[in-house]
Chain A
Amino acid sequence: ELKVEQNPLFLSMQEGKNYTIYCNYSTTSDRLYWYRQDPGKSLESLFVLLSNGAVKQEGRLMASLDTKARLSTLHITAAVHDLSATYFCAVDRRNSGNTPLVFGKGTRLSVIA
């Protein structure tokens, strides 16, 4: 059974600081997704990582994928309050696209002044 583990589950960080969220998964996969969820809202797609070594950046967020280590990271640079949200990583159940996603438990990020 595919397991997806995120850490930390809760993260409180000061504005301007850097931090990394980690996502480990238990089976071979080269398709990993990051989503953002604001309280009471839907899941917004942030990044799609489709190969080993993939790196994508959008604003203050950068995601990477190491399929050999079965690890993805979401790096936050110079955090601002607007980044406060819950971040989920998800892995394709069968590594073939258009298949059910298995989500991690999410990392609740709170950026404080």
Chain B
Amino acid sequence: EPEVTQTPSHQVTQMGQEVILRCVPISNHLYFYWYRQILGQKVEFLVSFYNNEISEKSEIFDDQFSVERPDGSNFTLKIRSTKLEDSAMYFCASSPMDRGNTDTQYFGPGTRLTVL
């Protein structure tokens, strides 16, 4: 069964450093998302991406964040200058365009980001 994959599984970085989190969505999906989950808290939406551009972003997704689809398969989230409060699990998700029963968002395994 196709699945969303993410790399790395765990990233440790120093405050102020740039990180890039990578995702490979399911191949025939057209909508892509990033969410994050601070330890023990609920899952929060960051940004959605469709047709090679951001379709929606939350107030969390400020100027230090950016997303890119550099080729036909990868979808990346860049954090330019990490802060301690960016420490969280970051999930990538994708969904097909069908608005019926198959428009569930499928989540990747996540990247645990630790900022020291």
Decide if B45 touches A101 in the complex (CB within 8 Å): yes
> Which residues in chain A, 49-83, are within 8 Å of chain B measured between CB atoms?
50
Known: A99-B56, A100-B48, A100-B56. A50 touches B101 (CB 8 A): yes
Decide if A102 touches B31 in the complex (CB within 8 Å): no
Known: A98-B99, A99-B56. A43 touches B104 (CB 8 A): no
Which chain B residues border A93 with CB–CB below 8 Å? Answer: 45
Number of B interface residues at 8 Å Cβ cutoff, please give it. 26
Decide if A104 touches B56 in the complex (CB within 8 Å): no
Decide if A33 touches B104 in the complex (CB within 8 Å): yes
Taken residue by residue from 16 to 54, chain A's Cβ proximity to chain B (1 for < 8 Å, 0 otherwise) reads as 000000000000000001010000011111001010000
Closest residue of chain B to A33 (Cβ to Cβ) is B104
Taken residue by residue from 90 to 113, chain A's Cβ proximity to chain B (1 for < 8 Å, 0 otherwise) reads as 100100111111111110000000
Q: CA A106 – CA B58 in complex, angstroms? A: 20
Known: A43-B91, A48-B104, A97-B99. A102 touches B110 (CB 8 A): no
Select one of A101, A102, A106 contacting B105, CB under 8 A.
A101
Seen from chain B, the residues whose Cβ lies within 8 Å of a Cβ on chain A are 31, 33, 35, 41-45, 48, 50, 56, 58, 91, 95, 97, 99-101, 103-110
Seen from chain A, the residues whose Cβ lies within 8 Å of a Cβ on chain B are 33, 35, 41-45, 48, 50, 88, 90, 93, 96-106
Which 6 A-B residue pairs are closest in the complex by CB-CB distance?
A97-B99, A100-B45, A43-B107, A103-B43, A97-B103, A42-B109
